[in-house]
Amino acid sequence: MKGLALLLPLLLASCGRREAAPDLALYTGQGFQLLNIESKSTRSIPCSIPVGSFSIAPDGKFLVFASKEGRSGMGQIYRLDMETSEMRKLTSAAFYYTSKRFPQSEFPERELYSDAEVSPDSRFVAFEVHSVADNDSDDLVGLSGPLAVMDFSSGNVRILSSTEKVNGEGPAFANRPRWSNDGRKLLMAFEVSGAITSLSGDALQWIDRPMPKKLTEGIVSPKGWWSSKEILFVWDPEQSGIGKLFRLDLTTGQVSSAASFLPIAEKQSNDVVGVDVNSRYVLIEHQNRSELFKRSGELLQTWGAGARLRLFN
């Protein structure tokens, strides 16, 4: 009895311990590693399907990814449960590029998807729709397509009409959709610019129109939301695919450099190709590295070229 009395507090303490919540997910090529920055704990989730892009549900229960198939690097949309490792395919038959919708046109047999992004309430996923030929026609024009939103509970998919006819023409090559904090809007990048659309899909709000005159040269590419009224974007005057990080206030049109809102060295705001943000961290992807900062500007960790990471919310 004495031994049991000594052991009981240890057992209770052990039962009370909970695994530290992860801060970000890293795709390794064989699956995902869930990482906690402070405790440095990791947990692995296997995934046998090649991943093109992925997003973590804010409720922390699952992630959604687009598979990577063929020359285009696009595929189907899958949902992966973080606790059970159960995988579910969310897309199958074509629902947009069909003869019913386009009776006078001939489309390739394959409709594929990319850039899956889960909504802040974990109820929806936004993604890009593409008609893929797997030949030389798969360029920014050939792969252009609208933005779709799927309801997880029903499986229903809705095309946002504002992304079907950009500037009165056909759909542009949209990529990297990002939800606003309140889940009411979606930010997306196009070939040389970007826009915001509401979930009603009635119109696009172009982000480069309130920009200073000097930023009209080159490419302005939105990367993410800093707040519900501010977005992060990259200005690329050389049209090289990489640029310098800025913030745009959507209310006033004021633009500020990264150093003014995230105290970092000049070199850390240059050559930016991607940004991920939550309430605690900022993940900046460069051409040859990825860097994790606190929102105060403190650099926490660096990964080498090729690391593919997303933050938990």
Q: What is the mean pLDDT of each run of 10 residues along the chain (313 residues)?
A: 50 52 94 93 94 94 93 91 95 83 63 94 95 70 85 94 83 89 92 86 84 81 93 89 90 91 91 94 95 95 94 90
Q: In sequence order, what are the residues at sequence separation of 6 or more whose Cβ sits closer than 8 angstroms to the Cβ of residue 113?
A: 66, 74, 75, 76, 77, 91, 127, 128, 129, 130, 148
Measured CA distances, 84 to 22, 61, 90 (Å): 16, 10, 17
| Per-position b or e across 271-296, b if 16+ CB within 10 A of its CB | bbbbbbbbeebbbbbbeeebbbbeee
List residues bridging with 43 in a β-sheet: 34
pLDDT of residue 10: 47
8 Å CB contact between 134 and 109:
no
* pTM, rounded to two decimals: 0.88
Distance CA 308, CA 50 (A): 13
pLDDT of residue 277: 95
Q: In sequence order, what are the residues at sequence separation of 6 or more whose Cβ sits closer than 8 angstroms to the Cβ of residue 232?
A: 222, 223, 224, 225, 226, 245, 246, 247, 248, 275, 277
pLDDT of residue 16: 47
Give residue for tokens 């909970």: 18
